[in-house]
Amino acid sequence: MLILLAFIILFHITSAALLFISTIDNAWWVGDGFFTDIWHQCFNETNCTALDNTFPEYPSIQTVQATMILSTILCCVAFFVFILQLFRLKQGERFVLTSIIQLLSCLCVMIGASVYTNRRSELHRGLTYGRFEVESGRFGYSYVLAWVAFAFTLLSGLMYLVLRKRK
């Protein structure tokens, strides 16, 4: 039981770290001479501009920003709730709230990454990119980490439900 508990704690911390890295790191869409994320677009490694309301697809990117931030916050809150429930509740009631919060975090990651996937052709088109062929780019590692974080938060939420029934 103690080994399972330690594994779940490690799994949860890994989920939170993946969410944090995928939210702040600048590699959701990469190509030759440019990279972009949900906050900035950078060309020639030094010329970075923030994505603001002048960006044509700003509502879509704002949706991705909000859901990724919310998922990171929910994952951290779930961990603190887990620690509190570990010592406060009796056996049958433990970890239900933690599981619900973690599954909500999972849902937020899925929504954010799905919106980015669906809107990527519109997000990377326009006159603001100049001579760079951004449309020919590819998904970067932060995007991949977001989907890995989705899987980790889903498994973590399900593990809390299984752990709830353990004695």
In this structure, is residue 44 part of a structural domain? no
pLDDT over 80 (residue 110): yes
Nearest Cα to Cα of residue 95 among 73, 74, 78:
78
Domain that holds residue 148: 1-28+55-126+140-162
Q: Is residue 78 part of a domain?
A: yes
- Residue 71 resides in a domain: yes
53 CB-near residues (< 8 Å, 6+ apart): none
Residue pLDDT, tens place only, 57-98 = 888 889 999 999 999 999 999 999 888 887 776 665 678 888
On whether residue 76 sits in a domain, the answer given is: yes
Exposure string (b/e) for 60-76, b if CB count within 10 Å is 16 or more? bbbbbbebbbbbbebbb
List the CATH number of the domain containing 8.
Answer: 1.20.140.150
Contact 60/115 with Cβ under 8 angstroms? yes
Region 44-60: what's the mean pLDDT?
81
Percent of the residues in the chain that have a pLDDT greater than 90, as a whole number: 36
Question: What's the pTM value of the predicted model, to 2 decimals?
Answer: 0.86
Task: Give the chain's domain count.
Answer: 1
